[in-house]
Amino acid sequence: MKVMGLDPSDREAFARLAHEWLDRMLDHYGTLAERPVWQPIPDTVRASFASPSPQLGMSLEVLGEMFRDQILPYGVGNLHPGFMGWVHGGGTLVGMLAEMLAAGMNANLGGRDQIPVQVEWQVGQWAREWFGFPEAARGVFTTGTSQATLMALWVARVARWGEILREEGWHGHRPRIYAAQGVHGSLPKALDLAGMGRKNLVRIPVDDRYRLDLLALSQAIEADRAAGYEPLMVVGTAGTVDIGAVDDLEGLATVCADQGLWFHVDGALGALACWSAELAPLIHGIERADSIAFDFHKWGQVPYDAGFLLVRDGAAQRRTFVTEADYLARATRGTAAGSDWPCDFGPDLSRGFRALKTWMTLKAYGTQRLGEAMADTCRLARWLAIQIERCAELLLMAPVTLNIVCFRYDFPVNGDDLNERIAVALQESGLAVLSTTRVQGKRVLRAALVNHRTTQADLQIMLDAVCCLGRRWVNNGGMA
């Protein structure tokens, strides 16, 4: 079938094709475990994405086959229960359907009087409930925590020094931001993008549980004040990217209150632990934050992308982003009604309907069930840590707080290289995907258990494969 107008003329034929595509995705989800987690991309497939821009359209049947054969098999693998790399959510079929409905509606969530905007505001209202934020707090969807953290930085500076900064830039201020050594790379990037310079991120040492050292923080703030800097914000992390450590959020909130600083929480990985009665105590203190950046697309299992920024002082957030323009004038009635539009609370004017897949995921499962799935991943992580400690060939490299387990195949010669090669060989085997990072100065294997489909059996497959690959290396005298 070829689409002649931009909408199909043969609705029945289009419906048949649409059902086929849907069935194909349902089959794909139903047979995930039979496939490799990840597989190398053949050169021929890669080359087919170097073709010139199409001038003429093609048949949808052929296009569907191209998706089936050349795109679908070569994703990163995060739907698969054996995927444990980086921090990737597993998504759900409910989220997939919601994406289709959102795309079908083609809503632009910049603003105006439409229920899709109310859906986004409702998720914001729920976020206020989860974190015990006041009515005056506001929140909007973002691409992810990276964007949300950059936005929080902008809000914090306007809250501190006023809208003059929007006209005049930094206006001679010398702000400083504080975070733990292991803070995510999106924070220095945010400083860079905000024109503050990455050098103005002060990295504070951590304690034996990889939590920002509060005394060192207070000393750094005092030293900076004495040197003429203007401390602006402290970033606490609820789940560090490397090992899943959680800063002492209560302690950080107190330092910020005493020092008059903005307290931002990077909750990309762990903020949604608030949905689990078992895990919520781990992030105690988050309710005192001035802003929280977090992701539904990770532990929340909402399909990419769905980040969120929640700001305690919603008026400051509005002052940071609102823009006057004749074509954006608000009316008391009609399509342009409504005083607050999402575009007043963030940098984007045109915005997709990320809210729907999140709203539907929450409505379909409820926070309790989603929270239980999170607690399950933490239980799996503890189980994995125990197996590693029992295995003479493996070394546990960091305490397990949430759902991340860092370990190493223990061999004295070229250990970094060995573990890096194990990760690649494992990925290429299709049995599991681990990523790597550096802990205690050493390259380690890292399992981030985010996917709700992962089971103990998947972890056992991964462990057996790691040991087998490590032994092969050792038996070769440290050679690949």
Ligand X SMILES: Cc1ncc(COP(=O)(O)O)c(C=O)c1O
Chain contacts with ligand X (rule: CB under 6 A) = 87, 144-146, 184, 186, 237, 239-241, 266, 268-269, 295, 307
Pick 311 or 469: Cβ nearer ligand X: 311
Residue 363 near residue 126 (C-beta atoms within 8 A):
no
For 17, the 3-state DSSP assignment is helix
In whole angstroms, how close is the CB of 142 to ligand X at the nearest point? 8
Q: How far is the CB of 144 from ligand X (least distance, A)?
A: 2
Burial bucket for residue 167 (CB in 10 Å: 0-12, 13-18, 19+): exposed
Shortest Å distance, C-beta 241 to ligand X: 4
- 124: exposed, middle or buried (Cβ count in 10 Å: 0-12, 13-18, 19+): buried
Taking the complex as a whole, the smallest distance from the CB of residue 112 to ligand X amounts, in Å, to 27
Spatial contact of 237 and 266, defined as CB atoms under 8 Å apart: yes
Instruction: Give the nearer residue to ligand X in terms of CB position, either 17 or 177.
Output: 177
* Pick 265 or 463: Cβ nearer ligand X: 265
Output the smallest distance, CB 83 to ligand X, in A.
14
Q: Residue 468's Cα: distance from chain center in Å?
A: 32
Residue 123 Cα distances to 109, 130, 296, 342, 353, angstroms: 13, 10, 11, 12, 12
In the three-class reduction of DSSP (H, G, I as helix; E, B as strand; rest coil), residue 264 is classed as strand
| Cβ nearer to ligand X, comparing 189 with 379 | 189
Q: Are strands 175-180 and 201-204 parallel, antiparallel or unpaired?
A: parallel
| Nearer Cβ to ligand X (237/317) | 237
To the nearest whole angstrom, how small is the minimum distance from the Cβ of residue 292 to ligand X? 12
- The β-bridge partners of 331 are 337
Are the C-beta atoms of residues 440 and 407 closer than 8 Å to each other?
no
* Identity of the residue, 265 or 459, whose beta carbon is nearer to ligand X in the bound complex: 265
Which residue number, 306 or 418, has a Cβ lying nearer to ligand X?
306
Least distance (Å) from ligand X to the CB of residue 145? 3
The residue sitting closest to ligand X, measured at its beta carbon, is 144
Cβ burial, residue 257 (10 Å; 0-12/13-18/19+): exposed
Paired strand residues for 293: 266, 309
We find the least distance from the C-beta atom of residue 266 to ligand X, in angstroms, to be 5
Lookup: tokens for 288: 């005192």
Q: How far is the CB of 190 from ligand X (least distance, A)?
A: 10
| Smallest separation, CB 274 to ligand X (Å) | 16
Q: For ligand X, which is the closer residue by CB, 45 or 206?
A: 206
CB of 283 to ligand X, least distance (A): 13
Are 401 and 243 in contact, with CB atoms under 8 Å apart?
Answer: yes
d(CA 196, CA 233): 12
Q: What is the CA radius of gyration of the chain?
A: 24
Nearer to ligand X, 240 or 403 (CB): 240
b/e 176-196 (16+ beta carbons within 10 angstroms → b): bbbbbebbbebbbebbebbeb
DSSP 3-state assignment of 343?
Answer: helix
Nearer to ligand X, 232 or 450 (CB): 450
Of the pair 186, 427, the CB lying nearest ligand X is at: 186
Q: CB 411: neighbour CB atoms within 10 A?
A: 17
